[in-house]
Each structure stands twice: as C-alpha cells, then as structure tokens.
C-alpha cells in the first residue's frame, strides 16, 4: 500500500486531503509547519528520508494574495523555494511529488478558458511565487505533477462563502465583484482528484477545478439563495470600484485536457460542490 506524506496538512486543502486519504484507508502522514517547514531544505530531506513515502503532496502555501504584495520574500520562500526543497528531496529518495498551484499564474486576458499549455503571465506576487514553485517542482523531481486549481473553499479555515454568509447574517449590505470569472472549487472534490492523480502516471501540469464557471457575484448570490438569505442587499460591483493591493485576472477559468486521458472522472459542477459544502457545514439541511 503506498504511503503518502502531505505537507501543509493543517491548511484548508491539506486537512481535506488527509480526510480523503483516511477514507480510502491509505497510509498517510500529515505535516504542518511545526513538523516540517518547507523553507528548510535539510528538514524536508530528513523527514522524507525517514518516512520514505511513495508520494509527497505539497499543499504548504503562503495564501495571503494581498499580503504577498508587501511580503514578497516570504511568499517566494514558501511557494517558490519551498516547493523546490520538497521536490528535490523527493528526487533524492525516489518519491513522486505533487504540487498544488493556482489559476493566478495567468493574466486573465484570454477570452476562453486556459489550457495547461497556455503562456503564463501572473499579475501579482502570489501568482508569481506559485509559478516559481511550479518551475522548481518540475525541474527538481522527474516524477512530479503540478495541479492548478482555483477559488478554493471548504470546511476547514476561513473562505469566501463563510465570510459572505457571516456578513449577510449581521445585516451588512454586500458589494461583490462581477467582472472576475472562475470556477469555485470545493476542497473535498479537489482532494479526491489529488488522490487519483497521485497514483497515476501523469507528469507535467494538469488543471483541476469544479466544472462550470461564474463570477464572484454569482457565487455569492448562489450561496445566499441556498442558505435562505436572499433578502440581504447584494450589489454587483466592478473590480475598478473595489481596488485591492494585488491585481486579479478577469478570466480565471481553467480547462482540463488531461485528467480524462488518465481515466480520472470529471469533477462535479461548482453548484453541486457549493450545495454539499453548505450541507456539511450545517447551513442547509
């Protein structure tokens, strides 16, 4: 039975991935930052040499998109160099390496959904740091796979849906961006795909998101409607009306062209993922 190591196991995605591995009765060791800081190359090699996993899945990440604009070195250390440390350690002990990346490696200027082979051009430091992580992972480990995803939310940690519902319940009017489009992705669904691709022969880059796409405004409206909060004042706004330190791509849609060829089932729609998330968190029954 293959043994897995999950870096960033205490995070939103890492926690869901540990649940999925346990549900499949797969042997797995989860590492948070205290157990292994990915910015420490020696620590990465030592822990992997001790555990000897068949697969290491790197979910460790600096995820503060706006904060990365003023903390570039910290973001690059975790998302870029840290990914390289994990990948090179995997190569030395003969493990497979998976790295979770982001839609933000693209600039959003393309009209259609992005393919795995499209030219990357991140608009912000976070996207640039994840792109560096992609490059270091692929260069550092021959048996490696980069999994790009988008707009993650799930039962562990804060996320967009949770924030929207809490603000709605407090009676706050909501202005949500309507001119950024992507695929909200439920961590439970992505965790299943990560387990599937981990034992596949895929290498290089794949895209994995819930099917379909929407704007942040449409995503918020769907969550409010399902949760019985449709009476809350919700207004669409333009990105230009809601400036943030980090620029975001207008088009974050990703097309999966490779998972099906490996026999991995397509992910559910984003609407289905949202409904199941609200059920799991007790927002609907």
Q: Which sequence positions are flagged as catalytic?
A: 126
Element (H, E) at 136: helix 125-140
Q: Alpha helix (H) ranges present in 187-242?
A: 187-198, 216-226
3-state secondary structure of 61: coil
CA–CA separation, 235 vs 168, rounded Å? Answer: 12
Angle at CA of residue 214, ends 208 and 219, nearest 5°: 105
* Crossing angle between the packed helical segments 82-93 and 41-51, to the nearest 10 degrees: 40
Q: How many CB atoms lie within 10 A of CB 192?
A: 21
Closest by CA to 222, choosing from 161, 175, 266, is 161
3-state secondary structure of 99: strand
CA–CA separation, 284 vs 276, rounded Å? Answer: 9
């Amino acid at each position: 039975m293959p043994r897995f190591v999950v870096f960033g196991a205490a995070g939103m995605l890492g926690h869901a991935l540990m649940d999925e591995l346990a549900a499949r009765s797969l042997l797995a060791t989860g590492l948070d930052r205290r157990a292994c800081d990915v910015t420490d190359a020696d620590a990465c090699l030592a822990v992997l040499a001790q555990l000897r996993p068949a697969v290491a899945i790197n979910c460790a990440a600096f995820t503060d998109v706006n904060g990365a604009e003023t903390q570039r070195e910290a973001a690059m250390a975790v998302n870029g160099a840290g990914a390289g440390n994990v990948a090179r350690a995997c190569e030395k002990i003969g493990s497979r390496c998976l790295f979770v990346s982001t839609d933000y490696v693209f600039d959003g200027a393309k009209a259609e959904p992005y393919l795995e082979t499209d030219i990357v051009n991140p608009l912000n430091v976070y996207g640039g740091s994840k792109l560096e992580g992609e490059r270091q992972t692929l260069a550092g480990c021959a048996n490696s796979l980069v999994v790009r995803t988008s707009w993650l939310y799930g039962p562990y940690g804060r996320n967009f849906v949770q924030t929207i519902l809490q603000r709605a319940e407090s009676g706050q009017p909501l202005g949500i961006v309507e001119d950024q489009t992507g695929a909200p992705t439920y961590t439970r669904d992505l965790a299943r795909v990560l387990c599937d691709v981990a034992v596949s022969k895929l290498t290089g880059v794949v895209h994995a998101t819930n099917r379909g796409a929407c704007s942040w405004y449409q995503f918020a409206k769907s969550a409010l409607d399902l949760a019985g909060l449709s009476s809350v004042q919700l207004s669409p706004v333009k990105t230009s009306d809601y400036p943030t330190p980090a620029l975001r791509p207008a088009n974050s849609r990703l097309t999966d062209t490779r998972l099906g060829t490996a026999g991995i089932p397509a992910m559910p729609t984003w609407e289905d993922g949202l409904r199941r998330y609200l059920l799991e968190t007790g927002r609907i029954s």
